[in-house]
Chains A and B, each alone.
Chain A
Amino acid sequence: MKNFFQRLKNHSKLAFFSFWFLVIFYIVSFLADILAPYHFDYQFRDKPYHPPTKIHFFDTQGNFHIRPFVYNTVVDDPVFRSYREDTSKIYPIKFFVDGPERKILFFFKTKKYLFGVDKPAGIFLFGTDTYGRDIFSRLLYGGRISLSISIAGVIISFTLGMITGGIAGYFGGIIDQILMRLVEILMVFPSFYLMLSLRAMFPLNLSSIQVYLLIVLILSLIGWAGLARIIRGMVLSIKEEDYVLAAKSLGLSHWRILIFHILPNTFSYTITALTISVPGYIIGEAALSLLGLGIQEPYPSWGNILSSTIGNLRVLGDAPWLLLAGFFIFVVLINFNLLGDALRNVLDPKNW
């Protein structure tokens, strides 16, 4: 494993950076409920479309404060929702402030938040949305959903693709014919419409966890077909390799040869393909949520945060921070692509 990082670093500094960037992203979104200053559905009714809060070190008298602070804001113009800072009182940013009780890490109930400011001021690092919910907190919570959907989807389609492609390629004949025709049936549908129609087969009023699982299932059901075909092709060529003949001459069983000698030799390709396909899942979830078929409000995902901007042209001018979800999707995609490109070379033992 240490070897892996070293090789990745030697191969490409950029990919090495991408790797750690993604690791940090995943850790941060996993710890969303610890790090977020507000719960994802906590609303500041009086502060819709609030721009990112300014963090100050100097007060109006020019005194320096070691502890950064914010001012409370009040609506200046209710039509254009512009805000004005009320400089009469400072609200220092504190650690472990009290707030409404919520669950963290799925089990523990607590009232403490990692950081925050006293009411009625709010700290909105990335501003607020239509309902006055903190975008930063929602992005963290949404990242948890968007990023975990992609990983879960990739794992399912990886497994399905490996099993189907491996069996079809190795055993060939009628099994191959049946499995590949099945895969082709899946592949002839344009994936986006297939996704929509699969989603349409299920009722809209599902609980959020059901929707989550459903999306994982739909996305992986679409993703595995292409992978299975590629793996089948690779298995077809690898099974003619001399080391497979040598493995047979040792008296190994078909399954052992397939699982232990042939499939691992496809990994340098498949892991790369998977890394590059992760963005597809994030986008798929975003697309479903954008159309209102994915994760439902008030639960956030990067897709439905973005969807709240649909049909709302003023957002582009007045509240561009709402588009940050798109930026996050973009950044994650870029990093996955960079990492995937480098992995192809790093995972090939011939380059070690």
Chain B
Amino acid sequence: MEYVLKIVNLAVSRRERTQLIPVLNDINFFVEKGELFCLVGESGSGKTTLALSIMRLLPKSFVVTSGEILLNGQNILNVNEQSIRSIRGKDISIIFQDPGAYLDPLFTVGVHLQEALHGTTEDKNQLITKTLKDVGLEPEIQLVYPHQISGGQQQRVMIAMALINNPSIIIADEPTTALDVLTTRQIINLLSKIREKYHPAIFFITHDLELAMSIGIRIGIMYKKHIVEIFRPDREKPLHPYSGILLGNIDKKYFNEKIPVSSQTDINDWCPFFEKCPEREQKCQKKIPFIWHDSLTGIRCIKHGRNHQM
């Protein structure tokens, strides 16, 4: 088994005046070569923070308090600014949520692609034309400004920019959230076509579990700073109570307004889902580690984790 991306014990905090508020905690997972790993979670669970920490693009107020991010075996948290720049866009690239805002309004699509291609010796124009063809765009679109094309086309341009250096992993941070249903399907099809053709690993972040179930090889569920479950949608059903809620088995308790939706500071380090869990028990009132079922899947829940292991 070959890991493209392996994250070990990652914890990230946000600096607010003098105190550190945890944003990500005890993140452990990996993405295999050529895999499509989906990360699902609600708003504020830390998905985008995770994506940005993998890119090392966290805003200045965020600090990585512990852990390692291994990209192709190299811990990118230790390398200097110069080397991380040569990694970004080459070995790892990212597709963002709202394609319109992420394209510089002053430059044409062609200039964007050339910016993405910095430092290559190959024939740039040929490579750009080829990549545009891969994402289903005409070469003529190079002369057009980003605001003159549709959201779907903008997202294709973003994908082309991410793809052009043939990276080993592409992070897609909710790439379809700003798009309509049909365009979403086209973009998803495009991503899977690209994965078949060039075999990059794709780290797909979304809040739509159903979408993730339909495309992902493995799915990680995130809840309040933690990854609570990793499962394979085509092999097994998710076991974590929160996954069940995401799938539509909604418990009334989850929407109980007395419980704050997502409190920033933790009073305790119990199971992150304890407050809202329909199946909670006395024994859940402690720190729960992530329990691996096997090398690929696992859960952060004593009840289901134990059951499985036994």
Contacts and interface: CB of A to CB of B under 8 A. Distances in A.
Interface of A: 241-243, 245-253, 260-261, 264-265, 267, 349-350, 352
Contact of B57 (A245, A253, A265): A245
A252 B118 CA distance: 8
A129 to B, nearest CB: 50
Contact of B88 (A242, A249, A349, A352): A249
A349 B147 contact: yes
Contacts of B57: 245, 248-249
B104 interface: yes
B105 A245 contact: no
A245 B147 contact: no
B198 interface: no
Interface in B64-95: 84-90, 93-94
B103 A246 contact: yes
A349 B85 contact: no
B116 interface: yes
Contacts, number: 64
B262 to A, nearest CB: 24
Contacts of A251: 84-90, 118
A249 B55 contact: yes
B182 interface: no
A241 B88 contact: no
A250 B95 CA distance: 10
B93 A249 contact: yes
B98 interface: yes
B89 A241 contact: no
A352 B143 CA distance: 14
Chain B, interface size category, equals 20 to 34
A242 B116 contact: no
A58 B56 CA distance: 85
A249 B89 contact: yes
Q: What 7 A-B pairs are tightest by C-beta distance, nearest first?
A: A251-B88, A251-B89, A242-B101, A246-B102, A250-B89, A243-B104, A251-B85
A247 B106 contact: no
A248 B161 CA distance: 13
Given A245-B57, A350-B147, 5 more contacts: A247-B115, A248-B57, A250-B116, A252-B85, A349-B106
A252 B84 CA distance: 10
A6 to B, nearest CB: 16
Contacts of A264: 106
Contacts of B87: 251
Contact of A265 (B106, B118, B148): B106
Contacts of B85: 251-253
18 contacts: A243-B103, A243-B105, A245-B96, A245-B102, A246-B96, A246-B102, A246-B104, A246-B161, A249-B96, A251-B84, A251-B89, A251-B90, A251-B118, A252-B85, A264-B106, A265-B105, A349-B145, A350-B147
A261 to B, nearest CB: 6
A250 B106 contact: no
B92 to A, nearest CB: 9
B118 A350 contact: no
Contact of A249 (B86, B94, B105, B147): B94
A110 to B, nearest CB: 47
Contacts of A265: 104-106
Contacts of B86: 251
A241 B101 contact: yes
- A245, A264, A350 pick with most chain B CB within 10 angstroms: A245
Nearest to A351: B147
Contacts of B105: 243, 265, 349-350
Interface in B93-148: 93-94, 96, 98, 101-106, 115-116, 118, 145, 147-148
Interface string B189-227: 000000000000000000000000000000000000000
